[in-house]
Chain A
Amino acid sequence: MHTIDFGRDFNLTLKEISKIEGAASLDIAVRNNKVVDLKFGISEWKRFYTQAIRGKNAMAIPQLVARICGTCSNAHLLASTKAIENAFSVTVTAQTMLLRKLLYYGLIIRDHGLHLYVFSLPDLFGKDSILDFDEHDELEHELLHDTFAVKEVGNQLSIAVGGRSVHAPYPTVGGFLKYPSLDDLKKVRVKLEEIRPRVINLIRIFASAPFSFSFSRSLIYNALLSSDFSFLYGNVYTSDGKVFTEEELGAHLKAVIIPYSQARGFTFDGNFMMVGALSRLNMAKEHLHERTKKDGSLGTAFFPSKNLFHNNLAQAVEMLHAVDSACDIIDGLTHVEPEPIARIKPRAGVGIGVIEAPRGTLYYMLTLTEDGTVKKGEIIVPTGQNQVLMERAIFEYTQKKLDMGAQKQELVDHIEELIRAFDPCMSCAAHFLKVRWMKA
Chain B
Amino acid sequence: MVRRDVRIKAVHLRSGRSAPPAASFIKKKSRMLVNMQQKIRVGWFSFTCCEDSTIIFTELLNTHYTEWLPRLEFVHARVLKKGDEGNMREMDIAFVEGAISSDIQEEKLKKIREKAKVLVVVGACAVVGAPSNQRNFFAQENIAEILPILQKFKYKEKILKVSDVVSVDEKIPGCPMNEEAFLQVMKKYLYAHH
Contact = CB atoms under 8 A, between A and B. Distances in A.
Interface of A: 1, 15-16, 18-19, 21-23, 44-49, 51-52, 54, 64, 67-71, 73, 110, 114, 118, 124-132, 135-139, 141, 148-149, 151-152, 155, 164-167, 204-205, 208, 210, 262, 410, 427, 432, 434-435, 437
24 contacts: A1-B85, A19-B80, A45-B102, A45-B155, A48-B134, A48-B138, A52-B134, A52-B135, A71-B51, A118-B79, A124-B11, A126-B5, A129-B81, A135-B28, A138-B18, A139-B15, A149-B62, A151-B62, A208-B10, A262-B149, A427-B50, A427-B51, A432-B146, A437-B148
Nearest to B73: A131
For chain B, the bracket of interface size reads 35 or more
A44 B56 CA distance: 20
Nearest to B79: A19
A210 B10 contact: yes
B181 interface: no
A136 B28 contact: yes
Contacts of B19: 137-138
Contact of B80 (A16, A52, A129): A129
Nearest to A130: B80
B55 A70 contact: yes
A437 B59 contact: no
B83 A64 contact: no
A51 B10 contact: no
A210 B79 contact: no
Contact of A435 (B29, B52, B148): B148
Contacts of A44: 48
Contact of B146 (A48, A64, A70, A135): A48
B59 A19 contact: no
- Kindly name the residue among B52, B138, B149 whose own CB sees the greatest number of chain A CB atoms within 10 A: B52
B59 A155 contact: yes
A204 B12 CA distance: 12
When A and B form their complex, which 3 residue pairs have the shortest distance between CB atoms, in order from nearest? A126-B4, A70-B52, A1-B86
Contact of A167 (B46, B52, B74, B138): B52
A148 B50 CA distance: 22
A237 B79 CA distance: 33
A70 B53 contact: yes
Contacts of B188: none
A328 B65 CA distance: 31
B58 interface: yes
Contacts of A136: 20, 24-25, 28-29
A417 to B, nearest CB: 11
- Kindly name the residue among B8, B19, B105 whose own CB sees the greatest number of chain A CB atoms within 10 A: B8
Contact of B11 (A48, A49, A132, A205): A205
B131 A67 contact: yes
Given A126-B5, A129-B81, A210-B7, 7 more contacts: A19-B80, A45-B153, A70-B49, A70-B51, A125-B4, A125-B8, A130-B80
A204 B14 contact: yes
Given A46-B149, A47-B131, A262-B153, A165 B10 contact: no
